[in-house]
Structure 1
Amino acid sequence: MSRQEIRKQKSALRKECRSLRRRLTGEDIAAEGRDILEQLLEIEEFAAAGLIHTYVSSKENEVDTHGLIRASLNGGKRVAIPVVVKGTRRLRHAEIEGLEGLVQDAWGLLEPPADHAAWIEDTEEMDLVVVPGLIFDRRGGRLGFGGGFYDRFLESTRAFRVGLVYDCLLLDEVPMESHDARVDIVITGTGTYRTGTR
Structure 2
Amino acid sequence: MPSCTEAKRALRVQLRAQAAALSLRERAESDRALCRRFLELPQTAEAGTLLLFWGVGTEPDTRPLLDALWAQGKRVLLPQCLPGHVLEARLVRSPRELVPGAYGIPEPGSDCPVVEGREIDLILVPAVAYDRQCLRLGQGGGYYDRCLAGYQGRTVGLCRDVLLQDRLPAEPHDLGVEVVLTETRRFSAGQKSAGGAQGAPPVSGGLQGG
TM more than 0.5: yes
What code does the residue aligned with 2:7 have? Q
Distance between the aligned counterparts of 1:168 and 1:32, measured in 2? Answer: 10
Residues 4-47 of structure 1: CA distance to partner in whole angstroms, max 9, x if unpaired? 71111101101111111111111111111111111111111111
Counterpart selection for 1:60 from 44, 57, 65: 57
Partner of 2:177: 183
Gaps of 5+ in 1: none
Residues 76-109 of structure 1: CA distance to partner in whole angstroms, max 9, x if unpaired? 1101111100x31111111000222412224011
Do 2:49 and 2:121's aligned partners in 1 also have CA atoms closer than 8 Å?
yes
Q: Which runs of 4+ in 1 moved over 6 A?
A: none
- Is 1:163 the counterpart of 2:157? The answer is yes
Q: Structure 1 residues 88, 73: closer, same or farther in 2, change over 3 A? A: same
What code does the residue aligned with 1:181 have? L
Residues 121-169 of structure 1: CA distance to partner in whole angstroms, max 9, x if unpaired? x201111100000010111110011111101111132111101011111
Do 2:92 and 2:112's aligned partners in 1 also have CA atoms closer than 8 Å?
no
Partner of 1:94: 90
Q: Structure 1 vs Structure 2: percent identity of aligned residues?
A: 33
Counterpart selection for 2:11 from 10, 13, 17: 13
> How many angstroms does 1:117 deviate by?
3.6
Gaps of 5+ in 2: 191-200, 203-210
What code does the residue aligned with 2:71 have? N
Q: Structure 1 residues 155, 15: closer, same or farther in 2, change over 3 A? A: same
What code does the residue aligned with 1:146 have? G
- Is 1:124 the counterpart of 2:118? The answer is yes
Partner of 1:144: 138
C-alpha RMSD over aligned residues: 1.4
Helix, strand or coil for the counterpart of 2:95?
Answer: coil
Number of aligned residue pairs: 192
Do 2:128 and 2:139's aligned partners in 1 also have CA atoms closer than 8 Å?
yes
Residues 29-83 of structure 1: CA distance to partner in whole angstroms, max 9, x if unpaired? 11111111111111111110000001111x2211111111111111011011111
